[in-house]
Amino acid sequence: MKRYLPFVIVSAVALITLAGGTMLYHAKGLPLLTISKNHPVSGTDGAGSIHIRGKPEAPVTLEEFGDFECPPCGRLSEPINKLEQDYHSRLRIIFHHFPFATHQHAREAALAAEAAGLQGRFWEMHDVLYREQSTWSKAADARPLFNAYAGMLGLKIDRFKKDMESDEVEKRVNADQQEGAAVGVTVTPTIFINNRALPPPSLNEAGLRAAIETAIKAKSPP
């Protein structure tokens, strides 16, 4: 037995080293996404969309990259609205488009939201699209439904239809996607609280609320 002991020890050390290296590899494979404080908010450079709710001086910013056809995004829509109401002037919300090509109507929905935004109804269309996601996402042709939502919101339908086809609206959606790619977004929803991405387990109302509370405390004077 003693004759084999050195080999047992070497093998054990090798296994521990391998396991440690594997853990380190996986840890490196899950980087914490951040947004540079100097990174311009989409739209402030005149290229992309700019959809912000809340006061500019709010101590906490919740910034979302979302896809209107993404079920987890849809499930977070109302909780985020509730958080905005609960925190009032302490929280501002920013939304960016990040539609996936694998979602049949996601890009068209983003265009619809932008077209509504040109008539001052982006957030209203944003909420309707998430609320009615289970309906339009299953339609063979979602455009009639988007037109119906626009009418329900009191938009000028002819202008809405024209804007959905416009280069301006296309560029706004493209600019958001490029911004998301630039900061490492690969899934939706991706949510940043004060420029730091939240881990997937925190993407629920309780997790968001905890992150907001932590950010408020960090901003509070000692």
Question: What token pair was written down for 26?
Answer: 């996986």
The answer on 132 and 176 residing in a single domain is yes
- Average pLDDT over the chain reads 85
Name residue 177's amino acid.
Answer: Q
Q: What is the pLDDT of residue 38?
A: 52
Q: What is the residue range of 21's domain?
A: 1-30
Quick one: which of 58, 78, 76 has its CA closest to 67?
76
CA gap 165, 158 in Å, rounded: 11
The answer on 68 and 6 residing in a single domain is no
Quick one: which of 98, 96, 90 has its CA closest to 61?
90
Contact 208, 198 (CB under 8 A): yes
The answer on 115 and 26 residing in a single domain is no
The answer on 60 and 20 residing in a single domain is no
Given pLDDT bands bounded at 50, 70 and 90, which one contains residue 221?
confident
Given pLDDT bands bounded at 50, 70 and 90, which one contains residue 32?
low
Given pLDDT bands bounded at 50, 70 and 90, which one contains residue 147?
very high
Query: According to DSSP H, which parts of the chain are helical?
Result: 5-28, 71-87, 106-117, 122-131, 133-136, 143-152, 157-164, 167-182, 205-219
Q: Does residue 36 fall inside a structural domain?
A: no
Given pLDDT bands bounded at 50, 70 and 90, which one contains residue 118?
very high
Q: Does residue 10 fall inside a structural domain?
A: yes
